[in-house]
Amino acid sequence: MWMQLVGQDEYVRECGTKERQAPDLISISRRMADNSKLHIAMFPWLAFGHMIPYLELAKLIAQKGHKISFISTPRNIDRLPKLPPHIAPLINLVKLPLPRMHNLLEGAEATSEVPYDKVKYLKQAYDGLKEPLATFLETSRPDWILNDFLPFWLPEVASRLGISNAFFSIFIAAALSIIKPQHVVEYRTTPEDYAVPANWIPFPTTVAFRLFEVLKLFDHSISVEETHVTDMYRFEEVIKGCDLIAVRGSKEFAPEWMQLLEELHGKPVLPVGFLPTTEYDDGEETETWRSVKEWLDKQEKGKVVYVAFGSEAKPSQDELTEIALGLELSGLPFFWVLKKRRGLEDTEPIELPDGFEERTKGRGIVCITWAPQLKILGHDSVGGFLTHSGWSSVVEALQNQRALILLTFLADQGLNARVLEENRIAYSIPRNHAHGSFTRDSVAESLRLVIAEEEGKFYRDKAKEMSSLFGDRDRQDRYVDNLLGYLQSHVKQLKS
């Protein structure tokens, strides 16, 4: 059996004598296994909602013994979560300095540090990483590079260097459905065109932007600007030039969208699982978590509203006021992680209504610094999550059986919300579809419905049901195995 595995000539060369057979055969086996291991480069966009799922996938791949080169800017690399010691040697954190832009403050390297209207300059700086990245790829020669939707120039670089490239989308398959297929002439010219499902979707669906959602995106992401390349163009070029589309999701959840993507773009599409967030626990409890846990321990089980809108979303002052007064009217205990400004260049910080914190003292906490979201969602006192619908937050909530109340702000959040609504997994706060306004009363009523009232028990039960899918580690492991099998097979074909 061993001779069949390694070949007789190789067996003789390596072993020499029968006395050395056992240890040498083991050595050969290990070496062959090492030869089958991949070197995969990863290049996410400069947003933590992108970098963290990329890092989760990197950790899962490294656990299988493969080497990862995780590429980002120095400041972002330094702020990534700590890696578990047993896989840290396999994940090389590669720092490429971000080119200076006169429109950005020095040190602004992530979307969370830049006002929304200046993110386009961060994209231009990111494009400036083309040559340093090409140099790294040329010297390190990975088998694959998994890249985000922003670097429209990367497929050409990878092809020139003979490196296979996959578009790893942190956006779910349904959200990717709005990207125009190559063979379709673009017919959408106004925001209203994007407020209905694309005409190439062959099945009934409600997945489309609300008008107020697409209006926020139109100038910066969809319509043509002289100052930068649009996001839609970036998506289209990355999809056109990739060898594989890897999508955050699973075949068990909305499989029709995965199939549609493959049909639309003529590319293999592989789900990589939901990538539920994991934290390395070194056994030390931080002071922040101790104080948060102490407060949560005093609350009634399943009645606390956890409120957080991610690292990028910042409500307007009017929206903030209605959210705050809605929380107050609900009568429910709450823990609110509030982002008042997007970086030092944000000249319009938002403020809580006068007297709000005093009136809700003891019943609610407003945290304006970082908070351990995964630990908070895992606490028994939390009954629901008022969230922006960012997919990482959705996965973290559902893996912990927390009911979802949705309030979208930007990017793909509206499309995520439609998918969740369509599958009756979450409840969206009612708002005007044209301009997005909502009231404190609708906030209060929505929170009470989902967290406290009998009528909303459906959403609480649905969250418990979904936890078996969104938090299934064994299923996640199988998806990673499937992805690696494809990547290895592709490399083998190229070398044969």
**Domain assignments of the chain as residue spans, ordered by start:** 38-276+472-495, 287-470
pLDDT of 16 above 60: no
CB 262 within 8 A of CB 173: no
Locate 327 and state its tokens.
């929380």
Q: Edge-to-edge, what's the strand order for the sheet holding 426-428?
A: 364-367, 334-337, 304-308, 382-387, 403-406, 426-428
Locate 186 and state its tokens.
């673009």
Residue 379 is among the residues annotated as catalytic for this protein: no
Write a three-state SS string for 315-330: CCHHHHHHHHHHHHHH
Asked whether the domain spanning 287-470 has the same topology as the one spanning 38-276+472-495, the reply is: yes
Percentage, residues of the chain above pLDDT 90: 68
pLDDT of 308 above 60: yes
- Give the contacts of 12 (CB within 8 A, at least 6 positions apart): none
Residue 50 is among the residues annotated as catalytic for this protein: yes
Q: Which is the catalytic residue, given 50, 66, 379, 388?
A: 50
Nearest to 377 by CA among 347, 345, 337: 337
Q: What pLDDT sits at residue 132? A: 97
Per residue in 77-135, pLDDT tens?
999 999 999 999 999 999 999 998 888 888 888 988 888 888 888 999 999 999 999 99
Mean pLDDT across the stretch 297-315? 89
Cα–Cα distance between 171 and 392 in angstroms, integer? 10
3-state secondary structure of 147: strand
Q: At what angle do helices 154-161 and 231-241 cross, to 10 degrees?
A: 20
Q: What pLDDT sits at residue 140? A: 95
Cα–Cα distance between 217 and 211 in angstroms, integer? 10
Q: Which is the catalytic residue, given 24, 143, 148, 346?
A: 148
More confident residue, 394 or 114: 394
H helices of 430-472, where? 440-451, 457-470
Using pLDDT thresholds of 50, 70 and 90, give the confidence band for residue 25: very low
Q: What pLDDT sits at residue 220? A: 57
Per residue in 235-284, pLDDT tens?
999 999 999 999 999 999 989 999 999 999 999 999 999 998 888 665 56
User: Token match 């938002």: residue?
Assistant: 350
Nearest to 406 by CA among 435, 442, 367, 382: 442
Across 289-293, 423-427, 458-462, least confident range = 289-293
Q: What pLDDT sits at residue 20? A: 31
More confident residue, 229 or 491: 491
3-state secondary structure of 305: strand
Torsions phi, psi for 356 (to 5 deg) = -60, -50
User: Token match 């925001």: residue?
Assistant: 191
Cα–Cα distance between 473 and 485 in angstroms, integer? 18
As a CATH number, domain 38-276+472-495 is 3.40.50.2000
Cα–Cα distance between 376 and 363 in angstroms, integer? 16
Q: What pLDDT sits at residue 288? A: 83
Per residue in 50-72, pLDDT tens?
999 999 999 999 999 999 999 99
From its phi and psi, is residue 408 left (phi > 0), alpha (psi between -120 and 50) or beta?
beta
CB 135 within 8 A of CB 112: no
Cα–Cα distance between 153 and 161 in angstroms, integer? 13
Bridging pattern class, strands 426-428 and 67-72: unpaired
Distance of CA 332 to the CA centre of its chain: 30
Cα–Cα distance between 65 and 62 in angstroms, integer? 5
Please say whether the dihedral angle defined by the alpha carbons of residues 14, 20, 21 and 25, taken in this order, is positive or negative: negative
Q: What mean pLDDT is reported for the chain?
A: 87
The torsion defined by the Cα of 464, 465, 466 and 467, in degrees rounded to 10, comes to: 50
More confident residue, 1 or 270: 270
Using pLDDT thresholds of 50, 70 and 90, give the confidence band for residue 347: low
Given CATH 3.40.50.2000, say whether it is the number of domain 287-470: yes
The most distant pair of C-alpha atoms in the chain lies apart, rounded to whole Å, by: 85
Half-sphere exposure of 403 (CA within 13 A, CB side): 27
Q: At what angle do helices 440-451 and 317-330 cross, to 10 degrees?
A: 50
User: Token match 């690696």: residue?
Assistant: 484
Mean pLDDT across the stretch 378-391? 94
3-state secondary structure of 244: strand
Cα–Cα distance between 423 and 435 in angstroms, integer? 25
Per residue in 402-420, pLDDT tens?
999 999 988 889 999 999 9
More confident residue, 342 or 300: 300
CB 448 within 8 A of CB 407: no
Helix H or strand E encompassing 367: strand 364-367
**pTM flag (> 0.85):** yes
Per residue in 178-202, pLDDT tens?
898 988 888 988 889 989 999 999 9
